[in-house]
Structure 1
Amino acid sequence: MSPTSDSPPTSRLGDSVKPEADSANIRISAEDFQKFREFFYRKTGIQFDASKRYFVDKRLVERIEATSSGNFRSYFTMLRFQASGEEVQALTNLMTVNETYFFREEYQFRCLVDSLLPEIVARKLDRRPIRIWAIPSSSGEEPYSIAIYLLENWPGIHEWDVEIIASDIDTRILARARQGLYSTRSVQHLPSRYLHQYFKRKADGYQICDDLRQSVEFTRVNLTERADTRGYRDFDVIFCRNLLIYFDDVSRKTATETFYDALRPGGFVCLGHSESMSRSSSLYKIRKFPEAIVYQRPLETS
């Protein structure tokens, strides 16, 4: 899907002439909130509960103003029926939260190097590349962290080709990830040697080096849309951390089934520390390694 346009849509159902939006007069009723949350859930699998009401209302008003829709009813009609889907993407970009930093939950990277990769390599008789999928990519800290950690800590990096694919539903955040510019806060947990070796100092922060930026492929994916994920196959490891907590049981089940299809037999899924697949799927084998608990697609048996 293309990034959103700067100009408002020119064709909408409903009134042919819209009043100028005034944020002081735009109201989102409880009924409006319910209609929107059901629509957004169908589109993304993300469900907003009542505690998120202020967050959702504020962003809806922002898009109503940006599109000169005037009120929620006109905006929601346009949102549902706009053929290009550009406004759905613009709103999705605004609604998704992308808070992360380099080397977050580093113990899982240790698990990757010390426990997962030795098993994966031992099974690989065809020398096909090791494939890692990071979803959501957010602004790129996680996939770049994986790349740096492998370069620094895995001797096999000199013997094996590694492909890192990073995906997100937010097109705006993907553009930031490809650019690889980060604030001092994002890199605060990195040793200074890493900053010198893998980053370029910029006036407003740090930029990941060209070699690393070219080593990660960023793609736009909606995890709950089968059409989006159909081409994602043959992965050895999937990192999906702190996304499933925003899903309900139905969306969570869809996501875990998608990961199962995307993994090679024996492949692993790493979730966030507060997440679990136990309730949403019985497809996986729970593996308790010294560094972390992960979920494995069972090996095929003859």
Structure 2
Amino acid sequence: MRDEIDAGGTDEIGLTEANYAAFEEFFYRKTGISFDVSKRYFVRKRIARRMQATGHDRFRSYFSFMRLEPSQDEFQALVNEMTVNETYFFREEHQFRCLVDTILPEIASRRPNAPLTIWSMPCATGEEPYSIALYLLEHWKGLPDHDVTLLASDIDTSVLNAARNGYFSERSLHYLPAALRVRHFRPAKNGKHRINYDIRDVVEFAKVNLLSPPARFRQGDIDVVFCRNLLIYFDQQAQRRAVENIAEALRPGGYVLLGHSESMSRISDLFAVRRFAEGIVYQKPHEDR
């Protein structure tokens, strides 16, 4: 069985070069995510999986069904198949230290006792926003003086449901200190661990496409955005749109933390580079600058 599309030809599900190009264009327009040539095998396998699940044996039939379905449930199912959601607690922990040791004290000095909002995206199955919650609880002395809202979003509805349920594997908890496991998790079935309700309750999860965020994420009232390892899936045009939407979401003086392989400076001049002891952070200018 062939796994690749022959040049100028087709494969056993009817995915011609022209059809593949049409799919790429459609998926990019809807999500901002583009796939290079190296991802073609990955994309084809996931399309074939959704075709089998929906009873379509030819790509053109499936493509028409997926685009025209009024509920768009199948498009969402395809998005869920295409997104990668592997993460773990306290990933790139230096950024959480930066949050509690430097960023939040700076904000608190400008706005004492003011409410604070932190947005984590893409949140996948919840490890990142719950890590933020745990880090604030365990390490930020200013927490009792501030009403903190934790927002978490993803484009994948299946991982959002998993995040709300709060069950995690041993692999997800590998870097979590043992004392925190005891305090904040309970053993569950099938070797899973469930984070305590008091932590689950403080995170608000929502489906958000960063290229067209809902009104809640365009109010300019967010103080810190964690947007790690998302922009690498966008081309330059989509990256600029995403960064503009992040800037719109943030208060003046708000902060953005990116993944270690990402750089805001290559995308936009809307943010200033801040170099802290714990790493590089990007800041939206204050209104008076």
Name the amino acid aligned to 1:176.
A
Q: CA, structure 1 residues 43+295, in 2 after alignment: closer, same or farther (shift >3 Å)? A: same
After the TM superposition, which of the residue ranges 64-73 and 141-150 deviates more from structure 2? 64-73
TM-score (norm 1): 0.89
1:57 equivalent to 2:33? Answer no
Determine the structure 2 residue equivalent to 1:107.
Answer: 94
Tell me which stretches of 4 or more aligned residues in structure 1 moved more than 6 Å.
none
State whether structure 2 residue 193 is matched by structure 1 residue 206.
Answer: yes
* Residue 272 of structure 1, CA deviation: 0.3
Q: Does 1:288 align with 2:264?
A: no
Aligned partner letter, 1:157: L
Question: Alpha-carbon deviation of 1:114?
Answer: 1.0
**Partner-residue secondary structure (3-state), 1:155:** coil
Tell me the residue number matched to 1:3.
Answer: none
Length-normalised TM-score, structure 2: 0.93
Q: What does residue 21 of structure 1 align with?
A: none
Aligned positions of 1:4-153 closer than 5 A: 25-125=12-112, 127-153=113-139
Question: Structure 2 unaligned runs (5+)?
Answer: 1-10
Quote the offset at 1:79 in angstroms. Answer: 1.7
Residues 103 and 269 of structure 1, relative CA distance in 2, 3 Å threshold? same
The question of whether the paired residues in 2 share the 8 Å contact of 1:168 and 1:219 is answered with yes
**Alpha carbons 1:222, 1:228 under 8 Å: kept:** no
Of 63-72 and 209-218, more deviation after overlay is shown by 63-72
Give me the identity figure in percent.
53
Aligned counterpart, 1:161: 147
Number of residue pairs the alignment of both structures matches: 278
Q: Partner amino acid for 2:173?
A: V
Runs of 5+ unmatched residues, structure 1: 1-23
Deviation at 1:178, TM superposition (A): 0.2
Within 1, Cα distance between the matches of 2:146 and 2:288? 26
Equivalence map 1:213-292=2 (5 Å)? 213-227=200-214, 231=218, 233-292=220-279
Secondary structure, aligned partner of 2:99:
helix
User: How far does residue 267 in structure 1 lie from its aligned partner after superposition?
Assistant: 0.4
SS at match of 1:278: helix
Find the aligned partners of 2:233 and 2:216 in 1 and give their Cα distance.
19
Query: Aligned residue for 1:9?
Result: none
**Correspondence list, 1:187-202, <5 A:** 187-202=173-188
